[in-house]
Chain A
Amino acid sequence: MATSVLLACGLNEQKLPGFVHISEESNVDGSFLISCILGQRLRISNAGTLLVCLQHHYQHYFNAGMRLGYNTNIFRGKTLGVIDVLSDMAVEGLASKWLRNSEGQTLTEQLVEDIRAQVESNYASRNSYTVLIDNLSILFNLGASKLQVQQFCQDLAALAKERDNLTVITKLSNSDIYQLTDNNVAKLGQVRIQVLRLKSGVFREVDGKLLIERVLDEGNYACEETRKEVLYKVNDRNVKVFTPGEIGVKV
């Protein structure tokens, strides 16, 4: 289903790097990566996962998961925790806690607090724990400043460093617009996946390109890193990857 794309990204292992960042270019949809990673984490026994829904509702991930062959509802409340910010804003309206600075706390501070509380209560009983945040750009939309978003990611990276087997995975849309924040957030982690559109236009058999950058050894003066480029196609029930040159125009 999604093994090939996770294999290409190096995210198919039980133990993931502490901080992974997904950059999504404008007019490209990289939500399938979150669904793929979520499915992989849920399949590992006794691995906890926290899904922070900022761009899509939980229901979207449930439906996408069913297409990929897993049922999130079975895991919800057990190994899967959900912070559905969107649903809360829809139900509470303008009185939602995410829209007002209660007790002088900003949106990002409240979110960090909620994530921290979830990690505190679940981490001890799990072999590993993964926090998935589906779109940081929504925080900008809701009024957070660049500094606040940067601080938010640094807090999460610090959380990952404090604990073994804790992974934080973030995604940022419109990375070409928020370039500074995108680069700064990517620097916090070891793996950066860029979801890019095809420069040459729209092609029926390929949806876009994944550029995977991985820091192997960060020395005092030199930094060794690998770069890998694959093409991807999201189908109805799976995601296929191709190496550049493998697929071409059929005449």
Chain B
Amino acid sequence: MTSFRKKAVTKPIRGTRTSPHTAQVITSSGNPYLDVVIGGGLPMSSICLIEEDRFMTHAKVLAKYFLAEGVLSKQEIFLGSLDDIPAEMLRRLPKPLTELETEVEQREDQAHGAGGAENGLRIAWRYNDLPLVNSEHATAKIGHHFNLMEQMDSMMLYYANTTMWDDSHKETLWDIVVAEELSKSSSATTSSLEHQPVEEAPPIPGEETTPQEKIPAQEESSANNNNNNNNNSSSVTSSTKTGSQEAQPQVFHNPRYGGLLNDIQDLLRDESFVAGTKKNLCRVCLTSLGSPLWYDEHFGEDLIKFLTLLMASVRNCNAVCLITMPMHLIAKYDASLVPKIRQLVDYAIELESFAGSERETHPAFKEYSGLLHLHKMSALNTLAVHMPDTTDLAFKLRRKKFVIEKFHLPPELQESSAKPDNCISGLLSNSNATASLDF
């Protein structure tokens, strides 16, 4: 009898891998540049907070990347929002690039970098070997590349396991997809879809309508997925849920938080997301949480309680969560909420857009759309957290992709004795620099 045992190789969850640095299971955020910044991807059971820019354009792009990655990796998706129409947002997800297109794009980037170097660097020619975009050197094997200019194929969304929440019964993605399909008059597809809505039982009179809307198209795609039970029994789920909600004590003053949390918890309780089972991963995306539509007398209290309970739920299963919040508005409502919220998430990333500010036209920032501030990166299920090469990061929204780079000032080609502007000097030096150093 020998003590030798053959190592049992467990199959990882789709779209995840084990980080060699922290031994954590990580999944792509959808944007390869962001993945590099946070150490390869989002760890399982983590919450990432994107603090929205003033015009909410860039945070939404990252949310779309996050969702699109989930669709492509065949993971379960939960999308909740009061400000946006979830179905509409899903419909506008970016189109994935094929391997060939990705290669071409990378080659173009390299060629662009080399061409620029040939023309520009004659003395410090050794810098030609360095990549133009530092954050791109480690390509994430788990992530995909997307084209922001084009929208994802509706059939790809049709097969996605998606749950939406918007606190009202609005037109679902299902309806939109069917309408599109009908307009295309693809008889084969529509005939197979036509009988689906019949399965959806009408809302039971006397009961409040469930905010949860399930896309009833999952039964074909993954018959072995237990979540698809909602597909043919959505009315049953809604009735039991309503019953349980009535029996439960009122935890929140604003019932919307309770409704949203119930829906998330119901989804995450599914056995395919039980921690350690390695069956599937759930991506929870909440956009514009804490926007003025959520305001009431107990806004701060409810929001913090909701985030605490959300943290408890996400930590307990195979899920990752991405939340976008208008933090500049929340800070105006109550400044003490900002550190409290950041304490309840694992990653807090602020997008400071130049749009509408004096920096928009400033020559020093002409290359970028804004700055990216890493406010918090916490060690989850490990001791030390991954730190990127630099925390001076900037982003730019190109036509096809969202790029995060090391922030650098353009070369000063003309000698001038003028002092640098306040805004640049403020960026490069810490505001507390006058205070005594710690070391």
Contact = CB atoms under 8 A, between A and B. Distances in A.
A89 B343 contact: no
Nearest to A101: B249
A29 B385 contact: yes
Interface in B380-397: 380-385, 387, 391
Nearest to B386: A236
A234 B312 contact: no
Interface in A169-197: 173-174, 176-177
B128 interface: no
B305 interface: yes
B279 interface: no
Contacts of B305: 141-143
B308 interface: yes
A63 B382 contact: yes
Interface stretch (A42-50, A198-206, A215-223): A198-206
Given A199-B432, A231-B438, A174 B383 contact: no
A29 B344 CA distance: 12
Contacts of B344: 141
Interface string B340-351: 101110000000
A83 to B, nearest CB: 14
A60 B380 contact: yes
A100 B248 CA distance: 9
A176 B379 CA distance: 21
A100 B379 CA distance: 31
B382 A199 contact: no
B47 to A, nearest CB: 13
Interface in A118-140: 137-138
Contacts of A141: 304-305, 307-308, 340, 344
B112 interface: no
A89 B305 CA distance: 12
Interface stretch (B83-91, B194-202, B258-266, B358-366): B258-266
A136 to B, nearest CB: 12
A138 B269 CA distance: 23
A201 B340 contact: no
A160 to B, nearest CB: 27
B436 A234 contact: no
Interface in B302-360: 304-305, 307-309, 311-313, 315-317, 336, 339-340, 342-344
A86 B248 contact: no
Nearest to B340: A174
Contacts of A94: 248-249, 251, 258, 261-262, 265, 309
A242 B438 CA distance: 11
A176 B342 CA distance: 14
A100 B249 contact: yes
A27 B339 contact: yes
Nearest to A92: B265
Interface string A224-246: 00000001001111010010111
Contacts of B258: 94
A86 B315 contact: yes
A247 B439 contact: yes
Contacts of A137: 340, 343
B213 to A, nearest CB: 20
A148 interface: no
B383 A32 contact: yes
A71 interface: no
A231 to B, nearest CB: 6
Contacts of A174: 339-340, 343
Contacts of A142: 305, 308
Given A100-B249, A236-B22, A245-B439, A29 B313 contact: no
A117 interface: no
B430 A201 contact: yes
Nearest to A85: B312
Contacts of B436: 199-200
Contacts of A21: none
B383 A237 contact: yes
Contacts of A15: none
A87 interface: yes
B433 interface: yes
A248 interface: yes
B379 A200 contact: no
Given A94-B258, A142-B308, A206 B383 contact: no
Interface in A39-62: 56-57, 59-60
A50 to B, nearest CB: 20
B375 interface: yes
A108 interface: no
A35 B258 CA distance: 33
Given A234-B384, A235-B384, A138 B308 contact: yes
B433 to A, nearest CB: 7
A99 B316 CA distance: 17
B439 A64 contact: no
B435 interface: yes
A206 B438 contact: yes
B342 A27 contact: yes
B221 to A, nearest CB: 28
Given A27-B376, A141-B305, A231-B438, A86 B311 contact: yes
16 contacts: A27-B375, A35-B383, A56-B380, A64-B381, A89-B313, A90-B312, A141-B305, A141-B340, A174-B343, A231-B439, A236-B21, A236-B22, A237-B383, A239-B383, A246-B439, A249-B439
Given A199-B435, A199-B437, 9 more contacts: A32-B379, A59-B315, A67-B382, A90-B265, A90-B315, A94-B251, A174-B340, A234-B385, A236-B21
Interface of A: 26-27, 29, 31-32, 35, 56-57, 59-60, 63-64, 67-68, 86-87, 89-91, 93-95, 99-100, 137-138, 141-143, 173-174, 176-177, 198-204, 206, 209, 231, 234-237, 239, 242, 244-249
- Enumerate the 4 nearest inter-chain pairs by beta-carbon distance, A residue then B residue, closest first: A90-B316, A26-B339, A63-B381, A201-B430
Interface of B: 21-22, 244, 247-249, 251, 258, 261-262, 265, 268-269, 275, 301, 304-305, 307-309, 311-313, 315-317, 336, 339-340, 342-344, 375-376, 378-385, 387, 391, 430, 432-433, 435-439
